Amino acid sequence: MIKVAPSVLAADFSILKEELVSLEKAGADYIHLDIMDGNFVPNISFGAPVIKELRKCSKLVFDVHLMVEMPERYIEDFVNAGADIITVHVESTKHLDRTIELIKSYGIKAGVTLNPATPVESLKYIINKVDMVLVMSVNPGFGGQSFIEYSLDKIKEIKNMRPDVDIEVDGGITDITAKRVIEAGANVLVAGSYVFNGDYKEKIDSLRGGK
């Protein structure tokens, strides 16, 4: 089953609650929430208080992608705000195992993610502890960038390493790249600019292959 996770980074921030309701009606599975600290990535987005407000109006799975230095400092805040999945970058913490254990201790799902140039080998000892691996197919920090081709090799390597782990892909996903990442082994698709530029239902359906 392919899951679609629209990234609200491309939504109209002045009507975020309405956007979530529309996405739920259009068949989204998750809502992908990009948290940027202006340090780990060269951009600032929003924080836990925004998620807490959105939680009041949506039953969708809240998929929180932390692009922040030392994410262990904020896990509790995002759990309290209503996160269902929290994903941290291997490059963002000296204590990845401890951070993954911390996320799991709250009874929610833990994900781990890699910047494009970070090799899959860095997952060797952590992959059996996580629920999801997020493959960044653009350099994190901004929406609307082009898909990096070698991400396909990384997806295949992760699939070989642990066939049952959820593999999410984030960055430059369109109907065309979606088909390719699914063939490579991905089952969760993040899409920002593609979904928000047009009819949400048509766009979400097209990511699943037009069904």
Ligand X SMILES: O=C(CO)[C@H](O)[C@H](O)COP(=O)(O)O
User: What does the binding site for ligand X look like in residue numbers (CB under 6 A)?
Assistant: 7, 9-10, 32, 34, 65, 67, 138, 140-145, 170-173, 190-194
Cβ 89 vs Cβ 117: under 8 Å: no
Nearer to Fe ion, 105 or 146 (CB): 146
* One-letter amino acid of 100: I
Q: Is 34 a catalytic site residue?
A: yes
> CA 167: distance to chain centroid?
10
CB of 105 to ligand X, least distance (A): 25
The answer to the question of whether 7 is labelled as a binding residue is yes
Q: Residue 25: how many CB atoms within 10 A of its CB?
A: 10
Please give the residue ranges that form the binding site for Fe ion (CB under 5 A): 34, 65, 170
> CA 12: distance to chain centroid?
19
Nearer to ligand X, 97 or 150 (CB): 150
Annotated active-site residue in 29, 34, 37, 63: 34
Starting at the edge strand that comes first in sequence, how are the strands of the sheet with 188-191 ordered? 3-6, 188-191, 166-170, 132-136, 109-114, 85-89, 61-67, 30-36
Token pair 């069904």: residue: 211
Annotated active-site residue in 170, 175, 199, 205: 170
The answer to the question of whether 95 is labelled as a binding residue is no
CB of 192 to Fe ion, least distance (A): 8
Q: Strands 109-114 and 132-136, how do they pair?
A: parallel
Q: Is 37 a catalytic site residue?
A: no
The answer to the question of whether 193 is labelled as a binding residue is yes
Binding residues for substrate: 7, 65, 141-144, 170-172, 192-193
For the annotated catalytic residues, the residue numbers are 34, 170
